[in-house]
Amino acid sequence: MSDEKVLCDQCGEREVAVRVTHVVDGEAREVKLCDRCAAERGIQTSTTVSQTPLGGFLHALWKTADPGPADAAGTGPCPGCGATFADFRESGRLGCAECYVTFEGQLRILIRRYHGSTHHHGRRHIGPADTGQPPDDLARGLREQLRIAVSAENFELAAELRDRLKELER
Amino acid sequence: MIDLSLVSDGGIGWLDASGPESHLVLSTRVRLARNLAGRPFPVRSAESDREDILASVRDATGTATILGPATLVRLDRLARLDRQLLHERHLVSKELAVPDADTTPRSGSAVLLGGPLGVMVNEEDHLRVQGLYSGLALEAAWGGVGTLDAELAQRLAFAFHPEFGYLTSCPTNVGTGLRASVLIHLPGLVLTKEINKVLQSLVQVGLTFRGLYGEGSEVVGNFFQLSNQTTLGKSESELLDHLAKIVRQVIGYEEQARQVLLRDAPGVIEDKVWRAYGLLRYARSLSFEETMNLLSGVRLGVGLGLIPDVGMYTLNKALVFTQPAHLSAMAGTELAEDELPVRRADFVRRTLEL
């Protein structure tokens, strides 16, 4: 084998860390990817696995915080809680549910890098039928979920939440 | 001092060694991270928010039939020693109970306890719905925690994103919000020096390991907490099945390692476990770390059938009750640092005499 570096098929810049074989129309095709492009496609390579979850996660965060279109510098503070992306970088904690909408671009990359996916496959929550919370609180919660559902273009869930809100306001 | 007899099983049901694989697995914990929609997460919330959250959660748990009559413990109104006692008993996290020596927990910090199930309130997330069970009991733990979560969801609007799932303060918990951990004793793998290989391969299959007290805690007494590292992209049952499968493999490796020890160095092992027993039985002063290591030796001896007449429950209890807050609680007063080793040795001696 030659010692020459093999470069990533996607970015053409970084060294290949993983080879993925897809079967398309009965034909096997190999795609060679670097750590970063692999992580963006939700493929976990050995170097993206860390023993200390938060440490590894923040490490990934620094790597993605390079200037670029997805840089957080242009994003203002979260309207929900006032937290900035710099606050998150420092503490590793988000301030509220709306932070996930405000910083969605950056978080999506980090979440995919850490979890190997951005799609939740577990149980789903659409708000209580009968609530112990005061109706105002519940409506506020449902409105927030509705806003998030719309921004994520999940219109099916949005319609369901809208019906719930209407029922509550009746 | 706090009276834990108010909690239905005294908060120590998980120590009774009644669960599956109790000779190797001390306990199984499952927790779900949840936040109420429309409220900032605890780290950025105002005191009034946290009080409202506590009130909402308390009301909701009041009608949760699986929890039964729960005991509410407000950690923000509890003396440090009592908070430490709850932490030593694995009922609350360090972050909630004893953030550090001189800091009191943030206002509204509380835990609701009902047998093996409980809810931590205003920790890193508004709710940490948790269950702690004896032995390797992932199914039972998920049965309890999953049902409690579903019951609470009837009353509370949780922050949920259609793509990312349940939203949490730290994105490492987003999605299912589920962390399942199995506390397992692996002296055979440590003695045969196979442990690093096993731990490395755990990391490769998406699991992580920690010490006796979770994140950031050191491995003592050859106890390892094995848990899922990621929480998103797989369903709850997929995460739990994967962990169960790997834990079963690790149990197999540990049992093999023990057979190797018995085959290749029976005299050395027998001497080692009886020496550990002898020290625990007669020492007059013991440090916590030494106690953990000696208990590990005796536990191995019991597991191999070399030491008869010592029950796993006795050994489990000794692990928890030899810690500083427990020794102080038994003495009825806060013990000074230099009094602890003598009290600890007294307790262990009395326990093993029975």
Per-residue pLDDT for chain B (354 aa), expressed as one digit of tens each? Answer: 677 776 767 778 888 889 999 999 999 999 999 999 999 999 999 999 999 999 999 999 998 899 988 999 999 999 999 999 999 999 999 888 887 767 788 999 999 999 899 999 999 999 999 999 999 999 999 999 999 999 999 999 999 998 999 999 999 999 999 999 999 999 999 999 999 999 999 989 999 998 876 556 667 899 999 999 999 999 999 999 999 999 999 999 999 999 999 999 999 999 999 999 999 999 999 999 999 999 999 999 999 999 998 999 999 999 999 999 999 999 999 999 999 999 999 999 999 986
Would the CB atoms of A132 and B63 count as touching at under 8 Å?
yes
Q: Rounded CA gap, B285 and B271, in Å?
A: 22
- Which band of pLDDT confidence, cut at 50, 70 and 90, is reported for residue A5? confident
Q: Does B268 touch chain A (CB under 8 A)?
A: no
Using CB atoms, pick whichever of B40, B171, B208 lies closest to residue A51: B208
- Please give the single-letter amino acid code of residue A131: T
Using CB atoms, pick whichever of B39, B146, B171 lies closest to residue A107: B171
Report pTM.
Answer: 0.81
Would the CB atoms of A141 and B40 count as touching at under 8 Å?
no
Q: In this structure, are strands B117-121 and B127-134 parallel, antiparallel, or unpaired?
A: antiparallel
Q: Residue A60's pLDDT is what?
A: 54
Q: Which residue has the higher pLDDT, A10 or B307?
A: B307
- b (16+ CB within 10 A) / e for A122-140: bbebbbbeebbbeeebbbb
| Alpha carbon of B241: minimum distance to chain A alpha carbons (Å) | 13
Residue B294: closest CA among B315, B270, B276:
B276
- pLDDT greater than 80 at residue A9: yes
* Cβ proximity of B35 and B141 under 8 Å: no
- Which band of pLDDT confidence, cut at 50, 70 and 90, is reported for residue A1? very low
| Alpha carbon of B98: minimum distance to chain A alpha carbons (Å) | 19
Q: Residue A50's pLDDT is what?
A: 38
Q: Rounded CA gap, B340 and B273, in Å?
A: 24
Q: Residue A71's pLDDT is what?
A: 45
Which among B119, B156, B198 is the top mutation candidate for probing chain A, defined by the most A β-carbons within 10 Å of its own β-carbon?
B156
- Which band of pLDDT confidence, cut at 50, 70 and 90, is reported for residue A47? very low
ipTM, two decimals = 0.89
Chain A residues whose CB is inside 8 A of the B232 CB are 111, 115, 117-120
Q: Rounded CA gap, B168 and A96, in Å?
A: 8
Q: Residue A2's pLDDT is what?
A: 44
Q: Residue A30's pLDDT is what?
A: 73
Chain A residues whose CB is inside 8 A of the B163 CB are 118-120, 152, 154
Q: Residue A129's pLDDT is what?
A: 59
- pLDDT greater than 50 at residue A51: no
Out of A6-10, A91-95, A125-129, A153-157, which region has the weakest mean confidence (pLDDT)?
Answer: A125-129
> Which residue of chain A is at minimal alpha-carbon distance from B35?
A97
- pLDDT greater than 60 at residue A72: no
- Which band of pLDDT confidence, cut at 50, 70 and 90, is reported for residue A68? very low
- Which band of pLDDT confidence, cut at 50, 70 and 90, is reported for residue A131? very low
| Alpha carbon of A105: minimum distance to chain B alpha carbons (Å) | 13
- Which band of pLDDT confidence, cut at 50, 70 and 90, is reported for residue A6? confident
Using CB atoms, pick whichever of B40, B208, B229 lies closest to residue A81: B40
Using CB atoms, pick whichever of A93, A123, A132 lies closest to residue B155: A132
Q: Rounded CA gap, A158 and A150, in Å?
A: 6
Would the CB atoms of A141 and B35 count as touching at under 8 Å?
no
Q: Does B63 touch chain A (CB under 8 A)?
A: yes
Q: Rounded CA gap, B193 and B8, in Å?
A: 41
Using CB atoms, pick whichever of A81, A110, A121 lies closest to residue B234: A121
